[in-house]
Amino acid sequence: MSIGKLVVTGGYGFVGTNLILAAAARGTDIVVLDDLSVGDGQYVKNVSHRLVEGDIRDRDVVSQALDGADAVVHLAAHTSVVDSQTDPEHDCDVNVRGTMTVLRGCVDAGVKRFVLASSNAPLGEQIPPVDEERVPKPMSPYGASKLAGEGYCSSFAASYGLGTTVLRFANVYGMYSTHKSSVVAKFLRRIQAGEGLVIYGDGEQTRDFVHVEDLAQGILAALQTPDAAGETFQLGSGTETSVLTLVDLLRQVAGGDVQITHEPERPGEIRRNWTDIGKAQRILGYQPSKQLAPSLAQMHEWFQGQRAEVTESAIVSPTVSPTVSADDFMDADEEEAVAKRLRDLGYL
Ligand SMILES: NC(=O)c1ccc[n+]([C@@H]2O[C@H](COP(=O)([O-])OP(=O)(O)OC[C@H]3O[C@@H](n4cnc5c(N)ncnc54)[C@H](O)[C@@H]3O)[C@@H](O)[C@H]2O)c1
């Protein structure tokens, strides 16, 4: 099944950039709807696409972007757990009203397929491996707003016949992520800046790191699989990797000494987390194939190139604004923020 004309909201961000490159390689007709608050499209300058600049909450902008569209991948979001805790109304406005506006626009424009970028944040703390059958228990407003988006997907499928699919991304890593605060990007930036790494506890806590190119193939497969309509899928690597293993691999690819400081384990930190990708494998034919070690080496080289470019042109602020992303729900800072909030509320 061909995708037809594809609209990618938030197409200039980390996942969007990689998705556009993968979709363009298949000859897809692409429209990006982005307000340029984070991404600026610098990495897809040479890829054929049309930009509609604006906010996903603006109905006119959305209808302009969706005119004639067959499919939508909705990536644009407020992505900070920490900020969602300090300003839950704003998080709700962008993630719930924004998603609603795009869904409404899809119905009005006769769009056939809609994919929502969700995360493991709606699930909250669960015993791994996490799968689609778990009862969600979000621990942050961000997780709740993503869960609301999932609910609206289900309701728009039932009420209006829109072919919605929810994809819950694990910890995404890969190229074009210099602005992200996910653990891989953060550790790489610190190593390249000659700064040490802090490991909380024994470092045996585990995470599921999925390469963004594998993820992009999973998104495209969801758009092209008729049986994916009305369904939710966990998209991860299906592999459990400890923080110590990640740090060892980063040490090897970066070479030289990396100073590691161990600090006490933090209350509320999730010990193990990884994803059961069986449903995505069965229905979408999803087969993540990227190996962590060579992918980290490629990222390291690219990040260094970016650092050199920024230094050479003496740009003080990066062309892509740094964000504190919540999407990597297991990120150390974010876990700490959730734990702090729970402590403040007297739950821990
Ligand atoms: N990166 C991850 O590890 C991860 C994990 C789970 C889920 N997700 C989800 O995947 C999606 C993409 O994440 P990402 O890492 O590419 O984020 P990102 O911050 O790199 O990109 C988001 C893009 O959306 C645009 N945007 C933000 N608010 C907008 C608005 N109101 N209107 C229009 N455009 C807007 C930004 O300019 C940016 O280009 C998000 O929905 C996120 O919650 C990401």
Q: What are the residue ranges spanned by the domains of the chain?
A: 5-172+210-235, 174-208+239-269+290-333
d(CA 250, CA 237): 18
Residues 6 or more apart whose Cβ sits within 8 Å of residue 147 = 118, 122, 136, 138
- Measured in whole angstroms, the distance separating CA 151 from the mean position of its chain's CA atoms is 19
- Does the beta carbon of 58 sit less than 6 angstroms from any atom of ligand 1? no
Helix or strand or coil: residue 30? strand
- Does the beta carbon of 111 sit less than 6 angstroms from any atom of ligand 1? no
As a CATH number, domain 5-172+210-235 is 3.40.50.720
Q: How many whole angstroms from 256 Cα to the centroid of ligand 1?
A: 34
Q: Shortest CA distance to 203 belongs to which of 121, 269, 293?
A: 269
- Does the beta carbon of 16 sit less than 6 angstroms from any atom of ligand 1? yes
Q: How many whole angstroms from 79 Cα to the centroid of ligand 1?
A: 6
Q: pTM of the predicted model, to two decimals?
A: 0.91
Helix (H) or strand (E) holding 262: strand 260-263
d(CA 282, CA 280): 6
Ligand 1 atom 25, closest CA: 10
Ligand 1 atom nearest to CA at 328: 3
Does residue 128 contact residue 274 with C-beta atoms inside 8 Å? yes
Residues of the chain with pLDDT under 50: 314-333, 338, 341-348
Q: How many whole angstroms from 202 Cα to the centroid of ligand 1?
A: 32
- Does the beta carbon of 337 sit less than 6 angstroms from any atom of ligand 1? no
Predicted confidence at residue 340, as pLDDT, reads 52
Predicted confidence at residue 81, as pLDDT, reads 86
- Does the beta carbon of 55 sit less than 6 angstroms from any atom of ligand 1? yes
pLDDT in tens, 218-230: 999 999 999 999 9
- Does the beta carbon of 150 sit less than 6 angstroms from any atom of ligand 1? no
- Does the beta carbon of 17 sit less than 6 angstroms from any atom of ligand 1? no
Residues 6 or more apart whose Cβ sits within 8 Å of residue 298 = 175
Ligand 1 atom nearest to CA at 56: 32
Predicted confidence at residue 90, as pLDDT, reads 98
Q: Which residues of 66-93 are buried (b: 16+ CB within 10 A; e: fewer)?
A: beebbbbbbbbbbbbbbbbbeeeeebbe
- Does the beta carbon of 172 sit less than 6 angstroms from any atom of ligand 1? yes
Predicted confidence at residue 310, as pLDDT, reads 63
Angstrom CA distances, 192 to 107, 111, 306, stand at: 47, 44, 11
State which fold the 174-208+239-269+290-333 domain adopts: UDP-galactose 4-epimerase; domain 1 (3.90.25)
